[in-house]
Chains A and B, each alone.
Chain A
Amino acid sequence: MITIEHLKKTFKKNKVEAVKDVSLEIFDGQIFALLGPNGAGKTTTMRMLSTLLTPTSGKIFFDGKELGENEEKIRSRIAFLTNEIRLDGQFTPDELADYYGGLYEMTSEKINERRDELFEYFGISEFRKRRYDTFSTGMKQKTSLAICLLHDPDTIIFDEPTNGLDILTQQLIESYLLKLKEEGKCIILSTHILDLVGRMADRVGIIVDGRSVFCGTVSELAPSQGVETIDQAFIKLYKENHEEKAIIGRHGKE
């Protein structure tokens, strides 16, 4: 279980307050969808969760343990995949598995076992000796997914995992995420595809202008806003909170 309390991140260099106040609760064995318009602070929140960024203030707890004090241990249990993070193109999938497996202190037997399983599932096996930079976008994404799941993490953080992929690859990834959910993993997804949220997510968190404005089950979202669909609820929440910012801005309080 992950608990986020009043998370804040200010980039000192360009004085941007990317995340102002985000509080969320994410449970094991569920898919948590993180929604928000572009620039709302989703990626920054996810980067803080994955330990790539240090929060300016606020706390993150993994199963009751605070992230700051147990970063190294917690990091070994996390997988983070985003379109922005790429693997070194000069390696083959086999070499990448050896490299990253070694960094996660996996034994050779365990690496081989996981590699065979994941490569087989994602259809990488026949390309395992080919360099990563020769792959198509879909194949790269599948390889990245296989490599980042190699160490069998408990928490999987995906930033727009199916963005730009064909329907077959999307389905493959979606079904694997559901498999992981069944195994009791904690999955956090950031996406703009609300249909995907409706089909897969158990809980949802919405961030607008760096603030969490909703955190609850998918089934609660629409009724809580007095509308019928997730889309309508999202737009309503966005308009309400974005307008609030604009009013504050006009009064010079920001």
Chain B
Amino acid sequence: MRKNHVLHVIKSEWKKTRKTPVQLVTMLLVPLLSVLFLSWCLSYVNVLVNRYKGTVYFPEEISAEEMEETLSEFYPDFSFRSGTMDDAQTRVANGRTDCAVVVEEKAIRILYDSSILTSSAALKDAKDLGLDISYLLSGKEFYDEVYEIYPETETLDLSTSADRLDSYLDRVGGVVGMIIFLMMSSNAMAISARSITGEKERQTFDTLVLSPAKLSKILTGKVLVMMAEIFLSGFVGFAAGIAGMAVWSPKEFAAITDNRGNVFVWMLVVLAILFAATLVITAVFSVIGSAFAQTKKASLFSSAGMVIVSVTAMLPSFIDAEVIRMFPLSNWTPLLKDLCEDDFTFTPIFTALAIGLLLFGLSMILSSALWERRSE
């Protein structure tokens, strides 16, 4: 029976990985630290966003008690009372409420103190609450006018445009997610640079090439083991980070939910996408980089690749709408569409993943040619 060389290389190379605990610990350190940082950010922000006081003011003709009965279950941080814009301004100014929703005849105005960290969460809820009130009252156009009136209602000089203010949580999560992605990529590239090219430099690769096993099979086996190392380091790092967050602030951890469902599921989705992107990029750079005879050159190549990937990944954050238009990922599948429209953080990752897959395909085609050129 013909032996499966890929499996054999994986099995043999894995023995080597097992024997390098220091290497594994180093690999674990980067994602572990970054995830601990992420968990700290999330738990810190969550503590803040869950603690605010909101007040809704209704005109005399609307019963605040009736509205409270209907809405207090969904908005426990808000109190409901009768009052005007003047009452709201006074109450926000003297710090007795962090956010005020003022219902007027043709508009719902939102006032909040943007200087405090809870403001973004309060604003997010206030907008939802305003929308619900508008449905309960006279009609959709009632709420729509909020945005037209809102920027002009900066009486306390503390308000910020709702359009410009993203969720604080999302913003922090996105940035840290990107940092982790980049850190994992650099970690992965460092591993790939020293792996095959390092072996070639140490002249241990020729012995493998001399065997009757096909070069592509040896490379595939080695790259898969390398990817497993990276996956292991990343996965353990993430798991430790999530566990750390659960232990650190269990109440907040349990309370974090958003429109994507349970935070645990959400983090697993992020994890899977980060891994997929990182692993594909690693595979690309390992295969292409393996054509280089020196680790120095392979590292240089990986660094250049890193810059390209970083720019590709970062660019959409600055010009998100334009990039969505340039890379119409939202047309792909309903799942991607949801993810892309829901959070632009995904766009760069998907873009990098798509480019990575394309490069991987090309690199597999080119690898034999590159190797041939090396032998020249």
Interface residues of B in 1-60 (CB under 8 A from A): 2-3, 5, 8-9, 11-12, 15-16, 19-20
Partner of A13, one of B202, B204, B376: B376
With a CB–CB cut-off of 8 A, which chain A residues contact B259?
Answer: none
A101 to chain B, nearest CB (A): 10
- CB contact between A86 and one of B9, B12, B203 (< 8 Å): that residue: B203
Pick the contact of A52 from B2, B12, B202, B209 — CB < 8 Å?
B209
Q: How far is the CA of A88 from the CA of B16 in the complex (A)?
A: 9
Query: Is B155 on the interface with A (CB-CB < 8 A)?
Result: no
B212 interface neighbour in A11, A95, A105, Cβ under 8 Å? A105
Residues of B close to A85: CB separation below 8 A:
203-204, 206-207, 210
Among the stretches A57-65, A70-78, A213-221, the one at the interface with B is A70-78
Instruction: Confirm or deny: A51 has a beta carbon within 8 angstroms of a beta carbon on chain B.
Output: yes
In the complex, A84 has a CB within 8 A of chain B: yes
| Interface-centre pick from B211, B213, B218, B372 (highest chain A CB count, 10 A) | B211
Minimal Cβ-Cβ distance residue in B for A147: B207
Interface residues of A in 66-112 (CB under 8 A from B): 72-73, 75-76, 78, 80, 84-91, 95, 98-100, 102-105
Q: Among B5, B202, B210, which residue has its beta carbon within 8 angstroms of that of A51?
A: B210
C-alpha spacing A91/B11, complex, angstroms = 13
A224 to chain B minimum Cβ distance, whole angstroms, is 35
Q: Considering only CB atoms and an 8 Å cut-off, how many residues of chain B contact the other chain?
A: 28
A-side interface residues, number (CB < 8 Å): 33
Does chain A have a CB within 8 A of B375?
Answer: yes
List B residues at the A interface (Cβ < 8 Å): 2-3, 5, 8-9, 11-12, 15-16, 19-20, 199, 202-204, 206-214, 218, 372, 375-376
Is there contact, CB below 8 Å, between B206 and A53?
no
List chain B residues, Cβ under 8 A from A102.
3, 5, 8, 11-12
Asked if A54 meets B20 with Cβ closer than 8 Å, knowing A100-B211, A105-B212, the reply is no
Is the pair A86, B204 in contact by a Cβ cutoff of 8 Å?
Answer: yes
Contacts of A90 in B (CB 8 A): 16, 19-20
B326 CB to closest chain A CB (Å) equals 38
Task: Answer whether residue A50 sits at the interface, using C-beta atoms and an 8 A cutoff.
Answer: yes
Find chain A residues with CB under 8 A from B206 CB.
52, 84-85
CB distance from B77 to the nearest CB of A (A): 58
**Which residues of A lie under 8 Å from residue B212 when comparing CB positions?**
72-73, 75-76, 103-105
Is A253 an interface position by the 8 A CB rule?
no
Known: A52-B210, A53-B375, A105-B3. Contact between A95 and B15, CB under 8 A?
yes
